[in-house]
Structure 1
Amino acid sequence: MGGAEDKLRDRQILRRFVAEAGGANARIVIIPTASQLDDTGDRYARIFHALSADETHVIQIQSREEALDPEAETLEAMEDASGIFISGGNQLRLSTLLGGTPLAAVLFRKHAAGAVVAGTSAGAALLAEHMIAFGQSGPSPSHKMVTLAPGLGLTHDVIIDQHFRQRDRLGRLLMALCYNPRLVGLGVDEDAAAIIDADRIVHVIGNGSVTVVDASQCRWTNADDVVTHGPIGVFGVKLDVLSPGCRYDLATRMAEPSRRMEGKPT
């Protein structure tokens, strides 16, 4: 989720998360660690209850010590969860507090076993192996525009940026891909979500778009020139913009239109 998802009206994205987690039988764990607001976890818990989730549990991890030695109740809730939701805030706080801890290990294992794991804003950035920690806005890549850090590694195919169109983040995503050209960049707009299914197909839902950047066929870049302090050049990058309903195959690196648009004359 790209952040600022609808929480008041039809709540399409959050409703889909609850449905994927089991609907009325969903047991959802909320991790609001990235947020500095005291009520973030409780607010999402109320929303998920309103969307018919059977059970919610807010895990308040405020220090690395708590993540290294979590309470039995916390581990039990994680083990029992059918859906795990990671809130927005500061993604570097998430990675530094949770990375390499028993709590992260349980989260990783639950995802592998089929639990639905979702993140919004900073929580979305954390899900990938390579995480954009912070950076600058702007449409063109340049040195020192982006800083990367390790994420949770629930997916090894993509690098995720959020609030994408609203905060003008194409340049920093391109820079991250210059450093990691095998990855696919997902730039997720606010009130949009990119759902990666078991077949490695990305599905777009919500009221925003997802910009997909494939740098695997990059023919040239001067990103490795540490002397250069100005704009960075990059040739051969492919960019697709997916509106709601569109899909992207991470295996073939091909975009597909929404089924309701297929066959329409161009």
Structure 2
Amino acid sequence: MPSTGTPGVSRGYIVPVGGAEKKTAEMPILKRFVKIAGGGDARIVVIPTASELEDTGDRYVDLFEGLYVEAARSLPITTREHAMEDECVAAIEDATAVFLTGGNQLRLSTILGGSPVAKAIRRRNADGMHVGGTSAGAAILPEHMIAGGRSGHTPRVDGVVMAPGLGLTNRLLIDQHFRQRDRLGRLLTAVSFNPFAVGVGLDEDTAIFLGPDGSFEVVGSGAVTVVDPTGLTYSSMDSAAPKEPVSLIGLQLHLLAEGARYDVETRQAFAPDPSAQ
């Protein structure tokens, strides 16, 4: 379950990105992230733990500094011992936003999971700090993380590997590089395991900005695939053998491009607002 916030204080945004977001010229996703984080007053902490490349954190710091934030710093947390250090927790406490980079989501979860840094991120998000992540950094944001799985359109019993995530929301299951890596089947499988959460498949260079009101808006050049299991009337997940396809009857699927919105609480999708164009 997400952390309980301070009464009267709005939760922070949750911003999963499908990976490969634009890092030159327009950069609509990163610019929007900086805007909600405070613009010129934003203090952004980058956590490059998922990546094994030494310069990943510094590259994002340069990007955010180029957008004129007040401060941006990288926390190169590479071990669980690092994730327990008071200095790292203090950096989270002072930030207006945290951004988790791409890489390997299991590396991210095994190093951060249950650590003081992870607990600080959860607590601060509940009290208004915004948290974004791209690729692996997006996958880990919900309570249940898609850690791996098969490519392809068809859901199968062994089609997805799940692991615990950060737990910023229990209403979504998030997959990334969605269309580019043909991941519909594994998202459907994940949703069928427990048809409570809404499945969200993020194309590359595409993000959702999930606000404290429980609704999100799509930003970016691709699309977001939303799998709503509310109307699911039949699933063969409990009886299908390993590697067999699974029958799912009654699912609703939405494809949302930039400007479209979705209310996670009411399970309603909305077209872009023409006045906002």
For residue 123 of structure 1, give the secondary structure of its aligned residue in structure 2: helix
Over the matched positions of the two proteins, sequence identity in percent amounts to 50
Q: CA deviation at 1:17?
A: 0.6
C-alpha distance in 2 between matches for 1:116 and 1:52? 18
Q: Report what 1:93 is aligned to.
A: 107
Counterpart of 1:64 in 2: which secondary structure?
A: coil
1:150 counterpart residue number: 164
| 1:186 partnered with 2:191 | no
Match of 2:252 in 1: 238
List gaps (5 residues or longer) in structure 1: none
Report the Cα distance in structure 2 between the residues aligned to 1:261 and 1:25, rounded to whole angstroms: 28
Question: Aligned-pair distance for 1:225?
Answer: 1.5
Number of residue pairs aligned between Structure 1 and Structure 2: 260
Question: How far is 1:226 from its partner?
Answer: 4.9
What is the aligned counterpart of 1:197 among 211, 219, 223? 211
In structure 2, the residue matched to 1:40 is 56
- Correspondences of 1:193-232 after superposition (within 5 Å): 193-227=207-241, 229-232=243-246
What SS class does the counterpart of residue 30 from structure 1 fall into? Answer: strand
Farther off after superposition, 171-180 or 214-223:
214-223
Structure-to-structure mapping, 1:1-266, within 5 angstroms: 1-67=17-83, 69-70=84-85, 72-227=86-241, 229-260=243-274
- Provide closer, same or farther for how the CA distance between residues 224 and 261 of structure 1 changes in structure 2, counting only shifts above 3 A: farther
- Residues 229 and 137 from structure 1, CA distance in 2 versus in 1: closer, same or farther, beyond 3 angstroms? closer
**AA in 2 matched with 1:8:** T
Question: Does the Cα contact within 8 Å between 2:201 and 2:226 map onto a contact in 1?
Answer: yes
- Counterpart CA distance in 1 for 2:256 and 2:243 is 32
Q: 1:76 Cα shift?
A: 2.0
**Which secondary structure state, in structure 2, belongs to the residue aligned with residue 160 of structure 1?**
strand
Aligned CA RMSD, in angstroms, stands at 1.2
One-letter amino acid of the structure 2 residue matched with residue 255 of structure 1? A
Question: Which range moved further: 221-230 or 169-178?
Answer: 221-230
Deviation at 1:231, TM superposition (A): 1.1
Return the structure number with greater relative CO, CA threshold 8 A, min gap 6: 2
1:108 aligned partner, one-letter code: R
What is the CA-CA distance between 1:73 and the residue it aligns to?
2.8
Q: Is the 8 A contact 2:159 2:243 kept in 1?
A: no
Structure 1 length-normalised TM = 0.95
How far residue 75 of structure 1 moved from its aligned partner, in angstroms, is 2.2
Distance 2:186 2:27 in 1: 29
Query: Cα 1:164–1:139, aligned 2, differ >3 Å: closer, same or farther?
Result: same
Quote the offset at 1:91 in angstroms: 0.6
Shift of 1:164: 0.5
C-alpha distance after superposition, 1:133-176 (max 9, x if no partner): 10111011112110100101101100000001111100000000
Amino acid at match of 1:97: I
Within 2, Cα distance between the matches of 1:75 and 1:179? 34
Q: 1:261 to 1:189 in 2, by over 3 A?
A: farther
Q: What residue ranges of structure 2 are gaps of 5+ in the alignment?
A: 1-16
CA–CA distance in 1 between the matches of 2:218 and 2:182? 20
Stretch of structure 1 that moved more, 218-227 or 35-44 = 218-227
